[in-house]
Each structure stands twice: as C-alpha cells, then as structure tokens.
Amino acid sequence: MLNDLQEIERLKKEKNAIILAHNYQTRAIQEIADFTGDSLELCIKVSKIKKADTVVFCGVDFMAETAALLNPHKKILIPDRNAECPMAHMLTAKEIKKAKNAYPDAAVVLYINTTAEAKSEADILCTSANAVEVVKSLPQEKILFGPDQNLAWYVSQQTKKEIIPLPEHGHCYVHKMFNLGDLYFLSEKNLDAEILVHPECDPSVQKFADVVLSTGGMIHHVNQSLHKTFIIATEVDMTTRLERENPDKTFIPALNEAICENMKLYTLEKVKTCLLNEEFIVEPDENIKSGAKRAIKRMMNISKNQNMIELNIKEAMENG
Ligand code: SF4
C-alpha cells in the first residue's frame, strides 16, 4: 500500500497536476511542492503554467482565487476550504466604494491579501514585495491603501504620497504578535545577527529592523548578505524555507508563536484527498472576474522585480 507521499506523486502524474505552496507552509508541504514562493512569485508562476492541467494551491483563499483569475484554463484546487486569510476579509467592496466617493481624486491600491470582490474595485494591486514600486508608478498623489495598516505605513515612509489606510485598523494577527521588547531582547542575545522584518509588522518593530522585506525579498537578501545569522520577524515557517536553502546559515524566528493557523490547515493527507477527489475547486464569481483580473495584471505589468523573479522561477517552470 502506498503512503501519502507516494500516493500524492502517483496522483500528480495521473492528473497532470502541479503543487504550489506559500512560504508559510510547513516543511512537509514545502517539500512536496513543485514551487514555493511569496504572493508575487506565486502569481507570476501561476500565470505561466502551461503543461499542467491542475494546480493544487497550498496557500490561503485569496491566493487560490488570484491563481484562478490569472490562469482560468487550469483547474485550481485548494485542499481545505477553511484556509482563509482573516486580514483579506477585513475590507469589503462596499467600504471601498464608500471611500472612493469620499476621495474621488485618490487611486485605490489594494494589497493582494483581499477578496476577489474587493480586488474588482481596485485600480491596481500590490504585494509586500512591490507595494512601494506600485504606488510610485501612479500619477495620483493621494492613495487609498488597504487592508494592512502597517504595510500602508511602510509605503508612506518610502514615498512622498498621502497614504490613506483602508480600513483604518486592518492588520494580520500573526505579524501583530511581534513587539519591540522581544526583538530588542533577542538582538542583545545575538549581537551578530541581522534583523529582517516583514512590513506587516508594527511600525516600532519595522524601525528596529536592519531591513524590512517581503518573504521573497528575505530569500534574495539572505543569499547576498555577508551575515551568517539572521533574526526573522515573520510567520515562523519562513525560517523553514530559509534553512532548506541555506544550510550553512542560522535563522532565529523572532517569535516561535507567530504561526498562521489558517496556512497550517494543510496536511499531506488533505493534499492527497484534494488530488484524488479533485476538490475543492476555486472559481471566482463571474461578475467580478474582469475587474479583479485587470487590477492584478496592471500590477504585474509594472513590477520591475518581475525579471529577477522570473529568473528565479525559471527552473520550476519545467514542471508546469
Ligand atoms: S500570515 Fe497573516 S496575512 Fe498571511 S495568510 Fe496568515 S493571517 Fe493572512
């Protein structure tokens, strides 16, 4: 009898499927994935998949929805329907419409961590990897930016534009867990460590960092850094990805409790069942498809990082 791993490999061949995983997935899921990346890297990867018929998406709901919008001819499956990002549900299309009426001269820039319905109201999307670049590319001086207030703060520090957070207190519960006191204590114990912080963390934590980066940015940075030890302030399994690719370096999670429970709903058994039964299929609502897709594509077209990321994912494309 085949174990879960062997069965997944067998089903992948039978269904001509590819498995994608976000950087916050567990080691077991990262190891079975054909490609692991941050939101922007996953978007680019999905948009270019040609050979595979089916994509098993090991990330939260908004990521799988984005995948379905970018590659509508593929069957996009998610192994657990409950894998929702709470932050993505903090902003509704209705609130965006209201804000647009209040600020008619502002551009609407939404973080990719939003529902497809909210995306359809955006002028353009962004990820934590390209948020600054996206905002700078726009002619408007006033930007409605949501739903993460900390990423909005980060962008406001890097540009001269007026950034209006939408909603006022949108946040990621995982990145909210980090605090300056813990980080200071850890840095005192590891004086040689470089401190890498995600822009979803509070401003006080960002200010204390040596560098503020998306998870994809952390991977590129670590490859080039002369440091041997790093303190990582983002979801705890980011250190799993970094350790797998840099066995000669040391990664210290800034907080072991910084776990995204929503990302951790996936197990090998669920991935196997998902492939076997071809469920759960992700299909965004027909009415909002074109608006949401336009905002995503617009982001992808202006991203300067795209060439660099494409180089990094070239290898993985063989599987697609
Ligand atoms: S880490 Fe935060 S933003 Fe990312 S999926 Fe989990 S809750 Fe959402």
Give residue-wise pLDDT tens across range 242-274: 999 999 999 999 999 999 999 999 999 999 999
Task: Give the whole-angstrom CA distance, residue 181 versus residue 1.
Answer: 51
Q: Would you say the CB of residue 174 lies under 6 angstroms from ligand 1?
A: yes
Q: Is the CB of 235 under 6 A from ligand 1?
A: yes
Q: pTM of the prediction?
A: 0.93
CA of 300 to the centre of ligand 1 (A): 21
Contact by Cβ (8 Å): 168, 144: no
Q: What is the pLDDT of residue 1?
A: 80
Domain with CATH 3.40.50.10800 in the chain: 4-84+263-286+305-317, 87-165, 175-253
Look up the CATH architecture of domain 87-165. Answer: 3-Layer(aba) Sandwich (3.40)
Q: Give pLDDT, residue 312.
A: 45
To test the ligand 1 pocket, which listed residue (259, 263, 264, 265) has its Cβ within 8 A of the most ligand atoms? 263
The domain defined by 175-253 folds into Rossmann fold (3.40.50)
Ranges of residues in the chain whose predicted pLDDT is under 50:
308-320
Question: Which pLDDT score, from 0 to 100, does residue 9 have?
Answer: 97
Closest-CA residue, ligand 1 atom 6, reads 260
Find the 173 Cα to ligand 1 centroid distance in Å: 7
pLDDT at residue number 318: 41
Q: What is the CATH number of domain 4-84+263-286+305-317?
A: 3.40.50.10800
Minimal-distance CA residue to ligand 1 atom 8: 85
* C-alpha to C-alpha distance for 274 and 79, rounded to whole angstroms: 5
Residues 6+ apart with CB under 8 A from 164: 99, 103, 106, 142, 143, 144, 145, 152
Q: What residues have CB less than 8 Å from 189, skipping those under 6 apart?
A: none
